Amino acid sequence: MAVRSFQARLLYLLIAILVLLDAGTLISVYVAGQRTLRNTIADQLRVGSRVLNRILDTRASQLSDSLRVLALDFAFREAVASADVPTITSVLANHGRRIAADAVVLVNLNGIVTADTLGGRLQGRPFPFAALLRSAQDRGEASATVSFVNRPYQFVIVPVLAPRPIAWVCAGFEIDDRVMTDVRRLTSLDISIWVSGDDFHIAPDESKYATLVEALPTGDGSRVNALLARNLAEARKPFLRLELQIFVLSTIIFIIAVFAAVIFARTVSHPLQVLAEGAGRVERGDYVTKIVVEQEDEIGHLATAFNQMQSAIATREDEIRYQATHDALTGLPNRTLFLDRLSYAIAGAKRNVGPAIGIIMMDVDRFKEINDTLGHQVGDQLLIDIGRRLEQTLRQSDTVARLGGDEFAVMFTAPTFKHAEDVAARIVGAFDAPIILGDVSIDVNASLGIALYPAHADDAGTLMRHADIAMYDAKRDHSGIAVYEPGRDEHTLRRLSLIMDLRQAIARDELELYFQPKADVRSERVAHAEALVRWNHPRHGVMRPDEFIPLAEQSGKISLITKWVIRKAIAQCAEWRREGLELAVAVNLSALDLYDSELPVFISGLLTEAGLPPASIVLEITESAVMKDAAFAQKMLADLKRRGVCLAIDDFGTGYSSLAHLKRLPVDELKIDKSFVLNLSEGAADDLVIVRSTIELGHNMGLVVIAEGVETAESWEILKRLGCDMAQGYFMSKPLPAEAFKAWLRASRWGSA
Ligand code: G
Ligand code: G
Ligand code: MN
């Protein structure tokens, strides 16, 4: 806006200058024109006056000439000499008519009129124009303009010579229209002549005429005046044309100049406008778009300075925004930013019907104590490390924030309820290992409150409040994790608290191995014992792996458990051996264990340590685990096989193994899943076909085939008939604790060697 008005002001200024210039030119042209006009008219009038005088002079001398001819006429002279008045009068009349004189008078040397053509009106009287006569006496002849019978006249007087003057002859001519016409013709002036004292008077309109009044010389009392007048309109005509031309020309120049001024104003104001737009962009928060002014002048420098200022503002604003949205200690987003992102995520989820969002609020237990006993520096460092662990536990796209004090919050997409639990479990898992600060080892326990969008709240603020409530529930119940009330079903809570408990299970020695016999079908003797883990939970009692192995897998605990089981199984195997029980012990591996590349070395190491032949350990891997990443599993199994460990495919028939893959796997045993075996004794024809063909398949591939889930003697018999190598099931024994297993084996017919 300001720039536009600058451009306008510049333009107005330029146009004003142009208008002044133009007006000045026109005015001076007009003034000069007027002056010239005035001078010209004055000249014309002066010239007119001269012309009039010249015409009168010429006329006078012409009249004198013709009068002289009369004066020389012999008969006339004789008549004068003889004072023959009638003859004289007749000659005067004749001659006067010839020369078109209006009056002819003969004057004697005494100045008395002796004859006239006026009917003797002047006869005997003194000649009325004494001055004229005197002048003629002085110079020989004379002429004058006079007032005669109140009319303007020209009178000439010449002597009658014989040879000396004997009289004067005088002729008068009225100054009539012919004189005026001559003057008008020669000067383009209007003229009128009158006798003063006469009422004859033209009153020329001064606005239309320029006039000059001339008193013609008479030499006698009365006056003859001539008025010369110039028509102003006419006189101005050429000037008007010139002025019009100049006006048109200057108008054209003016229009061109205005165009030029507009272009100039734009040129000058455009870079300013660009600067103003740039400033406007900065005001709107655009710190990226630079000003482009390709000028080397002051405006160019201004643009450069402006761009630098823009970057500086951007940097500073970034800093300020960072400080405003981040926690100074940990560098994590603060409550403001967390709330912001949460609102944004919820808005996005609402719009796109996107995935649900989960938040977890976490409060470090007994942080105040830690702070008070170990000092603020340790406390600060602890908070930093906690933030770091949280970040490492979560995905890059998740948000970890410090809300203040010892309170943290995380936000993540939670497509399912279970997903949120997994995240909580992972967080708990992240603090299994103590945080080491200098020479202090700090066990971090925290209370976690979970709340989900859209299940628990519709907006960010409410969701955070709900997570907060859940967190205090967790603190109060010492449950570690709590979900906001409406979603707090038994199952979830149990799972979550189990995850918490699992951390301590190994340390508190709550895990135990049970053993179930695998008997050789032909010899009817126990050949292997399958180790099956149990968890003696302080509150829930003996727990089966189906319930806690998946939790261990989710919370990253599975490899710890697998290693514990393997160590325990090998130890048990070695112990039995020392006691004279030669049994191979089977251990179940989780699908995740196949990714633990340390496992083969770990197992070999333990076997060597225990002094056991590698084949005394059988590793059972489910068919689906093997098929999940067949190439990877194959490598892992090959490694284990090279080390002499026995391998079995567990739950065979439940997955979809490709025979091609199966053929390539370096396994020794095939365990037919119990779902095909359990109903064999009830004459399930389908199962019989499957079991029979599986046994044949296994044998064709050179594998030992074992059936699990053998509960009856009939099933046993069928398997024996089908040529199955080994059997496992309640028909022989349920899984038993190590001591019970040993006792059973000693007492049972399956064990007596
Ligand atoms: O016998 P029981 O009902 O406890 O076994 C249930 C399931 O748990 C079985 O499929 C068995 O393979 C699995 N299982 C038992 N012990 C372990 C173990 O130590 N590790 C793993 N990964 N699975 C086990
Ligand atoms: O890992 P595997 O799937 O082989 O584990 C064997 C599982 O089968 C254990 O949970 C064990 O308790 C169970 N089991 C063993 N024998 C029998 C049986 O005869 N009947 C039934 N129903 N379950 C059995
Ligand atoms: Mn098994």
Q: Nearest residue CA, atom 20 of ligand 1? A: 588
- DSSP string for residues in 213-274: EEEE---SSS-EEEEEEEEHHHHHHHHHHHHHHHHHHHHHHHHHHHHHHHHHHHHHHHHHHH
pLDDT in tens, 93-105: 888 888 888 899 9
313 has a pLDDT exceeding 70: yes
User: Ligand 2: which atom is nearest the Cα of residue 728?
Assistant: 16
3 has a pLDDT exceeding 80: no
Give the pLDDT confidence score for residue 490 in this predicted structure. Answer: 45
534 lines ligand 2 (CB under 6 A): no
Tokens standing for 653?
Answer: 């028939």
Distance 258 CA to ligand 1 centre (A): 97
User: Ligand 1: which atom is nearest the Cα of residue 532?
Assistant: 16
708 lines ligand 2 (CB under 6 A): yes
Q: Which helix (H) or strand (E) holds 87?
A: helix 85-98
Distance 646 CA to ligand 3 centre (A): 14
* Rounded-to-integer distance, Cα 702 and Cα 719, Å: 18
728 lines ligand 2 (CB under 6 A): yes
Bridge partners, 707 (sequence order)? 672, 727
Whole-structure pTM value: 0.46
Instruction: Report the pLDDT averaged over residues 433-457.
Output: 89
Name the residue of 674, 711, 733 to mutate for ligand 2: max ligand atoms within 8 A of Cβ. Answer: 674
Q: Which range, of 224-233, 256-265, 570-579, 667-676, averages the lowest pLDDT?
A: 224-233
Ligand nearest to the CA of 560: 1
532 lines ligand 2 (CB under 6 A): yes
User: Ligand 2: which atom is nearest the Cα of residue 545?
Assistant: 10
Q: Nearest residue CA, atom 12 of ligand 1? A: 588
**Ligand 1 residue neighbourhood (C-beta within 6 Å):** 532-533, 544-546, 549, 562, 565, 588-590, 735
711 lines ligand 2 (CB under 6 A): yes
Mean pLDDT of the chain, nearest integer: 87
Distance 526 CA to ligand 2 centre (A): 16
Give the pLDDT confidence score for residue 21 in this predicted structure. Answer: 87
pLDDT in tens, 570-608: 999 999 999 999 999 999 999 889 888 899 999 999 999
Tokens standing for 418?
Answer: 């279970």
pLDDT in tens, 406-434: 999 999 988 788 889 889 999 999 998 99
Tokens standing for 234?
Answer: 């006419």
The separation between the first and the last C-alpha atoms of the chain, rounded to the nearest angstrom, is: 107
pLDDT in tens, 268-307: 778 888 888 888 888 888 888 888 877 788 888 888 888 8
650 lines ligand 2 (CB under 6 A): yes
Instruction: Report the pLDDT averaged over residues 174-189.
Output: 84
Instruction: Report the pLDDT averaged over residues 169-181.
Output: 86
Specify burial of residue 207 (Cβ count, 10 A radius: 0-12, 13-18, 19+): exposed
Q: How far is CA 651 from CA 588, 626, 658, 703, in A?
A: 11, 11, 15, 15
Distance 748 CA to ligand 2 centre (A): 20
Q: Nearest residue CA, atom 9 of ligand 2? A: 532
Q: Nearest residue CA, atom 5 of ligand 2? A: 532
Q: Please list, in sequence order, all residues whose beta carbon lies within 8 angstroms of the beta carbon of residue 422, skipping any fewer than 6 positions away.
A: 554, 555
551 has a pLDDT exceeding 90: no
Give the pLDDT confidence score for residue 460 in this predicted structure. Answer: 92
Residue of 541, 542, 524 lying closest to 533 (CA atoms): 542
Distance 668 CA to ligand 2 centre (A): 20
Give the pLDDT confidence score for residue 346 in this predicted structure. Answer: 92
Distance 569 CA to ligand 2 centre (A): 18
Distance 683 CA to ligand 2 centre (A): 20
Q: Please, which pLDDT band fits residue 549 given cuts at 50, 70 and 90?
A: very high
User: Ligand 2: which atom is nearest the Cα of residue 620?
Assistant: 1
Name the residue of 588, 650, 674, 710 to mutate for ligand 1: max ligand atoms within 8 A of Cβ. Answer: 588
Q: Please list, in sequence order, all residues whose beta carbon lies within 8 angstroms of the beta carbon of residue 485, skipping any fewer than 6 positions away.
A: 469, 470, 473
196 has a pLDDT exceeding 50: yes
Give the pLDDT confidence score for residue 40 in this predicted structure. Answer: 86
Distance 532 CA to ligand 1 centre (A): 5
pLDDT in tens, 19-42: 898 888 888 888 888 888 888 888
Name the residue of 513, 514, 515, 516 to mutate for ligand 2: max ligand atoms within 8 A of Cβ. Answer: 516
For residue 3, give the 3-state DSSP assignment: helix
Instruction: Report the pLDDT averaged over residues 145-168.
Output: 87
Q: How far is CA 644 from CA 362, 601, 606, 618, 626, in A?
A: 48, 12, 13, 10, 19
729 lines ligand 2 (CB under 6 A): yes
Distance 729 CA to ligand 2 centre (A): 6
519 lines ligand 2 (CB under 6 A): no
Instruction: Report the pLDDT averaged over residues 749-753.
Output: 74
Percent of the residues in the chain that have a pLDDT greater than 70, as a whole number: 96
Distance 546 CA to ligand 1 centre (A): 7
Give the pLDDT confidence score for residue 663 in this predicted structure. Answer: 83
pLDDT in tens, 636-693: 999 999 999 999 999 998 877 777 778 888 999 999 999 999 999 888 888 999 999 9
**CB under 8 A, 24+ apart: contacts of 149-152:** 150/195, 150/197, 150/198, 151/195, 152/193, 152/194, 152/195, 152/216, 152/224
Q: Please list, in sequence order, all residues whose beta carbon lies within 8 angstroms of the beta carbon of residue 606, skipping any fewer than 6 positions away.
A: 566, 567, 570
Of the segments 70-74, 326-330, 735-739, which one has the largest average pLDDT value? Answer: 735-739
Rounded-to-10 torsion of CA 705, 708, 713, 717: -20
Name the residue of 516, 549, 563 to mutate for ligand 1: max ligand atoms within 8 A of Cβ. Answer: 549
Give the pLDDT confidence score for residue 489 in this predicted structure. Answer: 44
Distance 492 CA to ligand 1 centre (A): 22
Ligand nearest to the CA of 533: 1
* Rounded-to-integer distance, Cα 176 and Cα 191, Å: 11
- Secondary structure (H, E, C), 6-39: HHHHHHHHHHHHHHHHHHHHHHHHHHHHHHHHHH
Cβ atoms within 10 Å of 693's Cβ, excluding its own: 11
